[in-house]
Structure 1
Amino acid sequence: MPLSDNAPATEPGPAPGTAPDPGGPLIRFEQVVKKYGDNVVLRELDFNVAAGERVTLIGPSGSGKTTILRLLMTLETINGGVIWVDGQPLTHMHKNGKLVKASEAHLRQARKKIGMVFQQFNLFPNMTVRRNITEGPVHTLGVDKEEANRRAAELLDMVGLANKIDAHPTQLSGGQQQRVAIARALAMRPEILLLDEVTSALDPELVAGVLDVLRDIAQSTDITMLCVTHEMGFARDVSNRVLMFDAGRIAEEGPPEQIFGDPQEERTKTFLKAVLDG
């Protein structure tokens, strides 16, 4: 049952705790439950991501990985628990001493901290690359057009597409479109970048170029990254920590060298064998 504006955030899920310390994790999932009908996708999930940390989520399809990203983007609502971002509740807000369902204004403000790159590029086909990148900063953040254009040019140079600024998406390859989508997300200057299987829609020969761009971003910026991928080599290269998901829970977590080199849980071993041997 959805929460009313005055209903405690704990109904019908578990009771949330106190607000995190301001110097604590940038992202905190606290006893988060997500259901689709009778299907429980996330089961009282607890996990944290520190500011500047790069965390990769791996696991079989349907294990809840993409749901985590969609919850952070407020594209889905939770059924229990609380999600905190930068010490503030994400999908809830404080009212009369309680956490209640967030207003649309609260959600709009919260979304400004988070950028997401999807499996599909989701570029506006009727707009040039320049406008695809500048529309958000100008109309959502209030950035003046000259600054937005300068930032767009810088980001396109970063992703190797400086000469495509006035092209339309239909004139670009899939890999180029995905690199524009990455630049568009970064143009909003998010604190957190979410990456959802960003190479899954690409032809195999285009995957390396996109992953190289993301490696460069990971190595040259302090942005917090939360990534869902089946590209295990990429996960090993960019991650500070890898979380293995299974049936809505964390089956195992650790640094990439441990997860990929010496996994402890049988479920992790069987998953990695299937992915790497496949």
Structure 2
Amino acid sequence: MIRFDRVTKRFGDQTVLDALDLSVHPRKHVTLIGPSGSGKTTILRLLMTLLRPEEGTIRVGDSYLTHEERNGGLVPAGEKHIRAVRRNIGMVFQHFHLFPHMSVERNLTEAPVHVLGLSRDEARERARELLELVGLGDRADARPGQLSGGQQQRVAIARALAMRPKVLLLDEVTSALDPELVAGVLDLLRDIARSTDVTLVCVTHEMGFARDISDCVMMFDEGKVIEYGPPDKIFGAPEHDRTREFLSAVR
């Protein structure tokens, strides 16, 4: 579903990702762990085309993300191509980024109507189903400012799912929440992971959550994957000294 081939990303003189090779198979749940600044969130931002790589290629499904095949070679992709590929990807950010002037329901229906071409009725029906899924079926007419932080993050998750993505990216989705709200959001994401066939790529410092939902955990350090494997191996018997040091610090 996702493939990075020799992807390099720099910010000035700093190399954040260094010739990264990475694969995520369809319907699998992959969690990226590692210290701050190791390149984890950069991967998500590249997939959302909020950043562009200096070198290498990224594929989503059968298509290149920031390149197009033309005359037997690869050229930088145009915006139309990028939008079409990116349509398969949803993202939930650390902060909710809801439209404050719109109702909860309209936050969920605007993109499906204008991007996917759904009718208002179809988008509204989908929004109501998703709000029930995230436990907010009675808050469709509320404004985001009338909701708690945990409720707003649930709306943000529902909004991402409203686009029917094949890939869902989760970027530290509980880091902006008060501690008492974290468990409810993580429980919701566990339910989504178990009940849908969406491919998940998650950046988190919640190690218990990572262990619960992941098919594969990747440990990052200085822009490279230094160790990966099933959660029982990474959390129970890590091979790399840096992985052991990191896990000891966050537990």
State TM-score, norm by structure 1: 0.90
> Which amino acid is the alignment partner of residue 211 of structure 1?
L
Equivalence map 1:118-133=2 (5 Å):
118-133=93-108
Paired position in structure 2 for 1:162: 137
Which of residues 2, 5, 8 is equivalent to 1:33? Answer: 8
Q: Which amino acid aligns with 2:98?
A: L
Match of residue 159 from structure 2 = 184
**Structure 2 SS opposite 1:164:** coil
* Alignment partners' CA distance in 1, 2:73 and 2:168: 29
SS in 2 for 1:124: coil
Q: For residue 10 of structure 1, what is the aligned residue in structure 2?
A: none
Q: Distance in 2 between matches of 1:198 and 1:50?
A: 22
Q: Give the superposed CA RMSD.
A: 0.5
Say which of 174, 177, 189 aligns to 1:214.
189
Match of 1:134 among 100, 109, 116: 109
Please point out which of 79, 82, 89 is paired with 2:64: 89
Identity fraction in percent: 65
- 1:243 maps to 2:218: yes
Report deviation, 1:95: 1.8
Structure 1 residues 61-97: Cα deviation after superposition (integer angstroms, max 9, x where no partner):
0000000000001110000010011121111101222
User: RCO higher in 1 or 2 (8 Å CA, sep ≥ 6)?
Assistant: 2
- CA-to-partner distance for each residue in 1:191-220, whole Å, 9 max, x for gaps? 000000000000000001100110000000
1:274 aligns with 2:249: yes
> Matched residue pairs, number?
251
CA–CA distance in structure 2, aligned partners of residues 187 and 104 of structure 1: 22
Moved over 6 A (4+): none
CA distance in 2, matches of 1:112, 1:89: 13
Aligned residue among 99, 102, 108 for 2:74: 99
* Structure 2 residue aligned with 1:57: 32
TM-score (norm 2): 0.99
Residue matched to 1:72 = 47
Partner residue in 2 for 1:149: 124
